[in-house]
């Protein structure tokens, strides 16, 4: 049995008997990270230049993979950000699970079309648009996944299950948010969540999701016991008829950047940096440099 398979079996077995909703949430969080192409498998973010961008394991490629076929083909990036992939001869590479032999139009994650996903050997890669176009590369046999050390949490604490008052913004408030690459985006916030911890008042600007709100937040544990740049947390559903929504900080979790240097995580906006220790949820990952 490969090491990664052993790790998956061991860590999954530890969560088979999850009883409470919180333990079930932690088990699902763990299972997601153990998937073959989770954030743990992210090994590269390669920026395209206009024109030809060759890819493969040989040293003469513009994008060099750590193993696999020496020459997979080339991505050709147009001035209008259109992209076509030309496969090399006699290489079996799949696009959206179908083996290709001819050039294929390639769509980034920002496109209205389905993102074009390539798989070959133990790799999965696709184009992302982060101001510029880049190739996000995942490897199910990556060291970060194979040698995954598990997650650690603060003890579950009812104090951090908080019923917050939802204050809507009408119209939505546009929040400037910077990611780890220094790229600025402007995200609409439907409202802020006001709450208290130990009798002190705090608030977080929320971002919208289908059936919940989520917050990118920082607190006074960052860089000490939790990931330095901050963490993410979702609410338990949307605001109710009384204007209340629950934040369970026991479910605060690390962004992908805690596990890999190749993700493009958003950072907490200034107003979401809490001047309090939120000693709940996921702690700093074992190999984190922050």
Q: Which pLDDT score, from 0 to 100, does residue 18 have?
A: 46
Angle at 65 between CA 43 and CA 80, to 5 degrees: 85
Cβ atoms of 214 and 232 within 8 Å: the answer is yes
CA distance 71 to 48: 17
CATH 2.60.200.20 in the chain, residues? 44-140
**What does the pLDDT look like over 232-275, one tens digit per residue?**
999 999 999 999 999 999 999 999 999 999 998 999 999 999 99
Q: Which pLDDT score, from 0 to 100, does residue 220 have?
A: 98
CATH 1.10.3720.10 fits 44-140, yes or no: no
Q: Which pLDDT score, from 0 to 100, does residue 290 have?
A: 65
Q: Which SS3 state, helix, strand or coil, does residue 43 take? A: strand
Residues 6+ apart with CB under 8 A from 275: 202, 220
Q: Which pLDDT score, from 0 to 100, does residue 286 have?
A: 84
Q: Which pLDDT score, from 0 to 100, does residue 9 have?
A: 52
Q: Which pLDDT score, from 0 to 100, does residue 8 have?
A: 53
Q: Which pLDDT score, from 0 to 100, does residue 1 have?
A: 40
Which of 123, 108, 109 has the alpha carbon at shortest distance from 42?
A: 123
Token duo for residue 278: 């939120």
CA distance 13 to 27: 10
Q: Which SS3 state, helix, strand or coil, does residue 161 take? A: strand
Q: Which SS3 state, helix, strand or coil, does residue 50 take? A: coil
Q: Which residues pair with 196 in a beta bridge?
A: 201
Which of 290, 280, 224 has the alpha carbon at shortest distance from 253?
A: 280
Q: pTM of the predicted model, to two decimals?
A: 0.87
How would DSSP label each residue in 231-258?
EEEEEESS--TTSEEEEEGGG-B--GGG
Residues with pLDDT less than 50, the chain: 1, 3, 16, 18
């Amino acid at each position: 049995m490969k090491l990664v398979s052993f790790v998956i079996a061991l860590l999954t077995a530890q969560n088979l008997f999850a009883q409470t909703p919180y333990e079930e949430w932690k088990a699902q969080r763990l299972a997601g990270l153990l998937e073959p192409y989770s954030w743990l498998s992210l090994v590269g973010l390669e920026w395209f230049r206009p024109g030809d961008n060759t890819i493969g394991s040989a040293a003469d490629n513009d994008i060099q993979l750590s193993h696999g076929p020496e020459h997979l083909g080339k991505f050709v990036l147009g001035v209008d950000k259109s992209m076509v992939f030309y496969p090399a001869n006699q290489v079996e590479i799949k696009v959206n699970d179908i083996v290709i032999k001819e050039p294929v139009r390639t769509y980034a994650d920002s496109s209205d079309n389905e993102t074009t996903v390539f798989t070959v050997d133990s790799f999965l890669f696709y184009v992302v648009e982060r101001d510029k176009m880049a190739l996000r590369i995942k490897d199910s046999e990556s060291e970060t996944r194979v040698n995954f050390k598990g997650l650690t949490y603060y003890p579950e604490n009812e104090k951090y299950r908080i019923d917050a008052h939802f204050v809507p913004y009408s119209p939505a408030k546009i929040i400037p948010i910077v990611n780890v690459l220094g790229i600025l985006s402007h995200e609409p916030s439907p409202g802020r969540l006001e709450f208290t911890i130990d009798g002190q008042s705090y608030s977080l600007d929320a971002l919208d999701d289908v059936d919940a709100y989520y917050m990118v937040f920082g607190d006074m544990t960052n860089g000490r016991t939790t990931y330095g740049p901050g963490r993410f947390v979702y609410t338990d559903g949307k605001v109710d008829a009384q204007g209340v929504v629950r934040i369970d900080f026991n479910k605060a979790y690390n962004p992908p950047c805690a596990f890999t240097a190749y993700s493009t995580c958003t950072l907490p906006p200034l107003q979401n940096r809490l001047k309090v220790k939120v000693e709940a949820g996921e702690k700093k990952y074992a190999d984190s440099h922050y």
